[in-house]
């Protein structure tokens, strides 16, 4: 891949990652609930799913998903259901007593948080179709494809790790600024509504749309 091509792809990755979506909401939600260091495990899960989606496209399976209405719908509705479940969990999340350092704080297990992030990204079939539409625009067909896919995967994941770190860290800072249960409950329910909105947007996506 020529440097100029990679540079254009690098810029596109920033635009894609900075665009608010279910992944950003999930990152901020985990940062709010668990703090940066613990919440960042969810971001790792997001990237594992992104790597899987790029691998699916590189293997050519993405084209099958793009043409199969049934596969698209099954993954989409699983994603909608999962986002709504996250919304319910966020709505019911109990506020933490941050003023009392001896009070038990929520402690998410790394593997659980990784799985949470993985499912958020993996259950979005539109992401595979989007990657299928975008990545070939930057490929040089005359050159070996695998090194190019690996380079683009590393670039997308690297940029997304940085962006999601920002989202997670921002939410973690907000967590430390909240002292009253009422403030925390309000923010938790705001994130719950964001998950509902993300689920609604995913539900409106139809097979074959760009």
At 90-140, the pLDDT tens digits run 788 766 654 444 444 456 789 999 999 999 988 887 777 778 777 877 878
| Percent of the chain predicted with pLDDT > 90 | 22
| Segments making up each domain of the chain, as ranges | 36-93+108-204
pLDDT band at 177 (very low <50, low <70, confident <90, very high): confident
Nearest CA to 76 out of 127, 20, 8, 134 is that of 127
b/e burial code for range 76-94 (CB count within 10 A of at least 16 → b)? beebbebbbebbeebbebe
pLDDT of 53 > 70? The answer is yes
Token pair, residue 170, equals: 């921002």
Cα–Cα dist 139/120, whole Å: 27
């Amino acid at each position: 891949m020529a440097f100029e091509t990679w540079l254009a792809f690098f810029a596109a990755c920033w635009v894609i990652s900075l665009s608010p979506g279910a992944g950003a909401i999930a990152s901020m939600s985990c940062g709010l609930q668990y703090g940066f260091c613990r919440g960042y495990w969810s971001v790792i899960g997001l990237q594992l799913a992104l790597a899987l989606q790029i691998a699916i496209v590189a293997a050519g399976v993405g084209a099958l998903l793009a043409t199969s209405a049934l596969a698209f719908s099954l993954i989409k509705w699983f994603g909608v259901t999962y986002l709504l479940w996250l919304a319910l969990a966020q709505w019911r999340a109990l506020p933490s007593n941050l003023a009392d350092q001896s009070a038990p704080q929520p402690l998410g297990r790394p593997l659980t948080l990784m799985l949470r992030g993985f499912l958020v990204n993996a259950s979005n079939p539109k992401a595979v179709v989007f990657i299928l539409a975008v990545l070939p625009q930057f490929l040089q067909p005359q050159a070996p494809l695998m090194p190019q896919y690996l380079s683009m995967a590393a670039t997308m994941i690297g940029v997304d790790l940085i962006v999601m770190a920002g989202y997670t860290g921002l939410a973690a800072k907000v967590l430390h600024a909240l002292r009253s249960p009422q403030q925390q409950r309000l923010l938790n329910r705001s994130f719950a509504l964001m998950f509902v909105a993300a689920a609604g947007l995913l539900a409106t996506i139809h097979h074959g749309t760009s």
